[in-house]
């Protein structure tokens, strides 16, 4: 794939002008329904030596004219192919939240130890090998009202949007597609990652149980650590400053003292 393909699938929300050789790249894999704009405040808050890129999936914001993908394994394959021209010589780190945690994990597995990240950072999702019980009603069979109630359970969308039929009509297709993609995920046992895994989660996230988070340690031969921050499933917004600090410290620690 070319650099054009990389630019189509990964977006740099902020520009960084620092000395060559002193930067690291942080690839962010968004939660269901999120476009790159959802990560602008986070990326802007990062230290200058961290260059962030956000995965840009079809069917939202600048890619709204493209059909959203409903197969998470197709998303993973596309992103793995697209990311290769953008890897470069700098240390790279992956961070995925919720649906993005699964995507980041699988992209890291496909890239392998040689090309994969120095560290995989995951949040808001159980370890991939933990069975996910099927929904009583599949997402593609839910009417809009029931699907909106499902979205409300994640506590991540402002009520003003949920109460606005015009906005919902615009964003529901991409949200449905991502939820369908998550539901089609099938874990396949394979070689463990060699990079470290850092889990960060909200203390009051009712969607992910403590033992399901700790199970991520089984996915790597490297070091494993877990941190908890105030907030629910979307603690990444509620505790953004603390999240930025933890990620920056983790990256700095890994680059100064490689494991």
- Active site residue ranges: 98
d(CA 222, CA 116): 13
For 153, how many CA atoms within 13 A lie in the half-sphere containing its CB? 9
SS3 state of residue 75: helix
d(CA 128, CA 137): 22
Q: Are strands 24-29 and 92-97 parallel, antiparallel or unpaired?
A: parallel
d(CA 20, CA 113): 24
Number of residues that this document lists for the chain: 259
Angstrom distances, CA of residue 82 to CA of 1, 115, 206 = 6, 13, 34
Give all strands of the β-sheet with 24-29 in edge-to-edge order: 10-11, 50-55, 24-29, 92-97, 119-123, 196-202, 224-229
d(CA 125, CA 139): 19
Backbone angles phi, psi at 201, to 5 degrees: -145, 160
Q: What share of the chain is helix, strand, coil (3-state, %, to 5)?
A: 45, 15, 40
d(CA 8, CA 161): 28
């Amino acid at each position: 794939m070319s650099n054009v393909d990389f630019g189509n699938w990964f977006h740099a929300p902020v520009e960084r002008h620092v000395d060559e050789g002193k930067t690291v790249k942080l690839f962010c894999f968004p939660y269901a329904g999120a476009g790159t704009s959802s990560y602008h405040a986070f990326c802007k808050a990062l230290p200058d030596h961290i260059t962030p890129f956000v995965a840009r999936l079809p069917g939202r914001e600048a890619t709204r004219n493209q059909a959203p993908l409903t197969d998470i394994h197709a998303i993973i394959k596309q992103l793995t192919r697209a990311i290769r021209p953008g890897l470069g010589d700098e240390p790279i780190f992956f961070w995925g939240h919720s649906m993005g945690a699964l995507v980041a994990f699988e992209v890291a597995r496909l890239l392998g130890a040689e090309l994969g990240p120095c560290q995989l950072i995951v949040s808001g999702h159980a370890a991939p090998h933990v069975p996910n019980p099927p929904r009583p009603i599949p997402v593609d069979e839910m009417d809009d009202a029931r699907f909106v109630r499902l979205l409300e359970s994640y506590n991540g969308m402002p009520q003003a949007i949920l109460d606005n039929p015009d906005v919902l009509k615009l964003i529901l297709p991409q949200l449905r597609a991502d939820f369908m993609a998550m539901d089609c995920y099938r874990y396949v046992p394979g070689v463990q990652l060699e990079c470290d895994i850092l889990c960060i989660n909200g203390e009051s996230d009712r969607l992910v149980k403590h033992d399901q988070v700790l199970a991520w340690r089984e996915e790597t031969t490297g070091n494993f650590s877990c941190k908890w921050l105030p907030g629910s499933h979307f603690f990444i917004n509620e505790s953004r400053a603390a999240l930025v600090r933890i990620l920056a410290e983790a990256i700095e620690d890994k680059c100064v003292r490689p494991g």
